[in-house]
Amino acid sequence: MSEIKNQDLPLLKVKDLHVYYGAIHAVKGISLEVHEGEIVTLIGANGAGKSTTLNTIAGLLKPRQGSIVLGGVPVDGTGASKMVFKGLSLCPEGRRIFQHMTVRENLEMGAYSRPNEEIESSLEDVFRRFPRLKEREKQIGGTLSGGEQQMLAMARALMSKPKLMMLDEPSMGLAPILVDQIFDIIQELHESGVTILLVEQNAQMALSVADRAYVLETGRIAMSGDASELLQNDDVQKAYLGN
């Protein structure tokens, strides 16, 4: 695991977050922290509030109550397009690549917050991390396999050089061998110093790569702590690991 820095000042601090969909109280007072250099994962059943939490941090949803601080700066109410300029990127659930654009065009879209003169070096860095995308640079995104589309979505999120990268269900719908590849990439990003907040249905994989974890149940944090300890926790094993 990479060394965790700035222990006293979290890169991301979420406090008492409440989010509603109409009358439905989806997130009920969640508080969490992510420190620079960490992988922190949110695990829980479908409907627990994991994706809602990420989407609210990303500025796609507005909280009814609570605060979000990124890099020591409050970002409450900041729209999603502006959050990218503040150093946050989201790799969304379901990949959401631009189906009719080439691989290169998708990546360039991820760099819209960067100066033009830096885009080429970012492309070189991404192609070094994802050589398969380099091979398919001119291929239309919608013709890629599911695993390749997930790689493209992650690479696109990296193009903005984020302080914090959020991944929402990166293994969803992928064959087991591709899941292993995606998590290998997540570990490589971690080792290179990328800070990651990970939402993942595959709790076993998520806990095996994370530094710390939060367990969500019906919009609340039911448990939190060191990921390796939660991996051995009886309640977590029964509820999420099938043991």
Widest CA span in the chain: 52
Residues β-bridged to residue 18:
28, 65
Q: What number of other Cβ atoms are within 10 A of residue 115's Cβ? A: 7
Residue 242: its pLDDT value, please?
62
Decide if 141 is inside a domain: yes
Pairing of the two strands 12-21 and 39-43: unpaired
Q: Domain of 194? A: 12-240
Show the CA angle centred on residue 194, arms to residues 153 and 209, nearest 5°: 85
In CATH, what number is assigned to the domain containing residue 162? Answer: 3.40.50.300
Residue 147: its pLDDT value, please?
85
For residue 127, give both structure tokens: 């192609």
Decide if 234 is inside a domain: yes
3-class secondary structure, 125:
helix
Decide if 7 is inside a domain: no
For residue 110, give both structure tokens: 């991820």
Query: Rounded to 5 degrees, what are φ and ψ at 55?
Result: -65, -30
Rounded to whole angstroms, the Cα distance separating 35 from 42 reads: 15
Residue 1: its pLDDT value, please?
41
pLDDT in tens, the chain (243 residues): 434 444 568 999 999 999 999 999 999 999 999 999 999 999 998 889 999 999 999 999 999 999 999 999 999 878 888 888 888 998 888 778 888 899 999 898 888 777 677 788 888 888 988 888 999 989 898 899 888 898 899 899 988 888 999 999 988 888 888 888 889 889 988 988 899 999 998 899 999 999 999 999 999 999 999 999 999 998 888 888 765
Residue 6: its pLDDT value, please?
44
Residue 236: its pLDDT value, please?
87
Decide if 4 is inside a domain: no
Rounded to whole angstroms, the Cα distance separating 138 from 198 reads: 29
Nearest to 160 by CA among 90, 58, 234, 233: 90
Decide if 87 is inside a domain: yes
For residue 10, give both structure tokens: 């979290």
In terms of Cβ atoms closer than 10 Å to its own Cβ (0-12, 13-18, 19+), residue 161 is middle
For residue 107, give both structure tokens: 């990546």
Residue 15: its pLDDT value, please?
96
* Count of domains for the chain: 1
Decide if 221 is inside a domain: yes
Decide if 105 is inside a domain: yes
Q: Which long-range contacts (CB under 8 A, 24 or more apart) does 179-182 make?
A: 179/205, 181/147, 182/147, 182/150, 182/151, 182/154
